Amino acid sequence: MLIIRKEQEDALTAASEREFVRRMVPHLRETFPLRTHGMNDESIRQLVQGGISRARQRGYTLELSVCLYLHIVLLLGAEFDGDKAEPWVRKVRDDQSLKDPHSRLEYLHEMALVRAQ
């Protein structure tokens, strides 16, 4: 039986996160060229790392969920779901008819895309 110590698990998680950040920089540049124009790679990396942290605090741990969260950050701003969130964001965020948190995030993403146009 293979046993993974906590230190090994942490190292694997950190490596996985670094790889995700590395992939997100060009993805966000390609997906949001106007919003990332003028940002250097380090600025985008910092945005991604901060977004990962905030997404985790809200229970989003899947890469797809974190990616959608980062899209919304670029569309609405880093504090889009904070204490001063727009009423429509709070309404979707708190909508219990959307049982799955990822479903709420997908809906927020769609609404953010519409509002950003």
> Quick one: tokens of 27?
């993805």
Residue 34: predicted pLDDT: 94
Question: What does the pLDDT read at residue 5?
Answer: 67
Cβ proximity of 48 and 56 under 8 Å: no
The span from the CA of 57 to the CA of 42, in Å, is 23
CB 66 within 8 A of CB 60: yes
Residue 69 domain-assigned (yes or no): yes
Q: How many domains does the chain have?
A: 1
- Please provide the DSSP assignment of 77-92 as one string: -TTTTSTT--HHHHHH
- Domain assignment present for 1: no
The reply to whether 61 falls in a domain is yes
Could you tell me if residue 53 is inside a domain?
yes
Residue ranges of the alpha helices (H) in the chain? 6-31, 33-36, 41-57, 63-76, 87-93, 101-116
Is residue 92 in a domain? yes
pLDDT number for residue 1: 62
Residue 49, pLDDT score: 94
pLDDT at residue 51, as a whole number: 94
Nearest to 51 by CA among 24, 70, 23: 70
44 assigned to some structural domain: yes
Residue 17's domain spans which residues?
A: 6-116
So what's the pLDDT on residue 6? 64
Q: What is the pLDDT along the chain (117 residues), one digit of tens a residue?
A: 656 566 655 555 777 889 999 999 999 999 999 999 999 999 999 999 999 999 988 888 889 999 999 999 999 998 888 878 888 888 888 888 877 888 889 999 999 999 887
pLDDT value of residue 9: 57
